[in-house]
Amino acid sequence: MSDFFKNRRVVVTGGAGFLGGYVCDGLRRRGCRQVLVPTIEEYDLVRMTDVERMYDTLRPDVVIHLAAVVGGIGANRKHPGKFFYDNLMMGVQLIEQARHRDVQKFVTIGTVCAYPKFTPVPFREDDLWNGYPEETNAPYGLAKKMLLVQSQAYRTEYGFNGIFLLPVNLYGPGDNFDPEASHVIPALIKKCVDAVDRGDAFIDCWGTGSPSREFIYVADAAEGILLATEHYNGADPVNIGSGFEITIRDLAEKIAALTGFTGELRWDPSQPDGQPRRCLDVSRARKAFGFEAKTDFDEGLRATIDWYQENKHRLFGEVH
């Protein structure tokens, strides 16, 4: 570990969220004495006046921009306009004000949704512009991808040190289990655990189960982001992933087995599958700043299931 963070003021937008909590913990373990988290109650980062006030008050040396309006396929289909506007405006304004205030480094967290729908597997960063993203999450993915364009343009014109990271789907303890907004792993864990509690004979699963996805344990993703913040100063985007791929059907069967659900998995092909495959080439992160994911997938799933089991009553009350 370096002393990079020791005497720097680090603002983590979204620091109160799922990934943000792990990034803030990692910063403190690295000796960062000033981890600053602008909460949504204090600062609406979609509004320029709040962005300016946040910079005036917190005076960061480094910004790690995690804040995002996110969700699964259902949420993306329901709110494409909000997902586009809020994510674009937050990032554009934060980067613009960081430039004006000579922030030493700006770390933008992008999304795997920025990749074209039919990207060759594994996804290489050089393929990022070779097509249009999968339609259900294109507004979100493109809003994030514009922040890469902005970072590179500002580097060229102003010498702005902005880096852009592309994490794959996250999972882990503390994930969002709200059925309206959750991603596939917490959604399936909640369905299976709740079905066991109720004694249900089946659960419904979206799509055909044939698409594949890559997942990274949230603590590993946080470590990758912090290593990049410390050691990477390049213009090129960098994938943050595990290099591991699993079909949604195999994932559902694995979660059912780990939760003790022995009923039927009913697939609903009238619901969208999303992108056919997702798996990242993670060689650039390994070469550029020595990052490799460490957590075994089954081990990470068990930890996530255990967390939900321990917190479900606090989150949702009694399951009926």
Element (H, E) at 211: none
The rounded distance, in Å, linking the Cα atoms of 106 and 12 is: 10
**Counting beta carbons within 10 angstroms of the beta carbon of residue 260, is it exposed (0 to 12), middle (13 to 18) or buried (19 or more)?**
exposed
User: What is the overall mean pLDDT for the chain?
Assistant: 95
CA 223 to chain centre: 13
Residues 155-199 pLDDT 10s: 999 999 999 999 999 999 999 999 887 889 999 999 999 999 999
pLDDT digits (tens, 9 = 90+) for 299-316: 999 999 999 999 999 999
**What band does 75 get if pLDDT is binned at 50, 70 and 90?**
confident
Q: Select which of 22, 43, 115, 140 is catalytic.
A: 140
Residue 319 has what pLDDT? 62
What pLDDT does 275 receive? Answer: 82
pLDDT in tens, 218-276: 999 999 999 999 999 999 999 999 999 999 999 999 999 999 999 999 999 999 888 88
Contact 221, 165 (CB under 8 A): no
In the structure, what pLDDT confidence band is assigned to residue 69 with cuts at 50, 70 and 90?
Answer: confident
| CATH architecture of the region 9-173+215-244+278-296 | 3-Layer(aba) Sandwich (3.40)
d(CA 276, CA 273): 7
pLDDT at 92: 98
Percent of the chain with pLDDT strictly greater than 90: 90
318 pLDDT above the threshold of 80: no
Name the residue with higher pLDDT: 79 or 292: 292
**Is 140 annotated in the active site?**
yes
Number of neighbouring beta carbons within 10 Å of residue 40: 14
